A and B are shown apart, each in its own frame.
Chain A
């Protein structure tokens, strides 16, 4: 079955960097567009980044554009890894971050990882 297992996250000071990872298995990873989505209880859900199946196309909302970078490793056969490099972190980036598969909707989600930006 589809599995998305996340790692990374934690507490970081404003202005610092953090990298999230998501190990994918149980499906042909290189055939799917992938996303990162975050949830803050006060703000709800926010889409954070998209990467095409081949990794050539990425998109971001204005809130993270220029600070966050999504990437992927498709070289492990049917398995793969999704990454989110987060630079110049701000307190408003505090949230639970999810990696998500896109298959007629955001149909499979990782378990989520907490990122807290605080001095």
Chain B
């Protein structure tokens, strides 16, 4: 299963609403997770099962979608959100998207 994220990178201002999309090459129901990775650090689980917020993750992060189309939204971008974000399907083994790098404008 191929996972395609868009955009590959984005630049936004503090306080902006940011949306990242992820498309699966076939129906994966809600078998999708989202991760945040900062430079030199291990990835961090943000959202599991497409829309469930992991414990301790700020509520400005949210996930939605099912089937083949999914999105991760940051409702109000904060400086600490600068990172690369990855989607991951687990319907058939595991595949990550290519990543979306979020920068501050």
Q: Which residues of A contact B (CB under 8 A)?
A: 35, 37, 39, 44-47, 50, 59, 61, 98, 104-107, 109-112
Contacts and interface: CB of A to CB of B under 8 A. Distances in A.
Given A44-B86, A45-B86, A98-B42, A106 B95 contact: no
Given A44-B86, A112-B42, A105 B96 contact: no
Query: What 7 pairs between A and B have smallest CB-CB spacing?
Result: A109-B42, A105-B48, A47-B94, A45-B96, A105-B45, A105-B33, A44-B99
Interface residues of B, number: 21
- By DSSP majority rule, is chain A's interface helix, strand, loop, or mixed? strand
A47 B93 contact: yes
A104 B42 contact: no
B43 interface: yes
Contact of B48 (A44, A61, A104, A110): A104
B96 A44 contact: yes
A49 B97 CA distance: 17
Nearest to A45: B96
Contact of B35 (A50, A59, A106): A106
B98 interface: yes
Interface in B10-54: 33, 35, 37, 42-45, 48-49, 52, 54
Which interface residue of A39, A46, A50, A105 has the most chain B CB atoms within 10 A?
A105
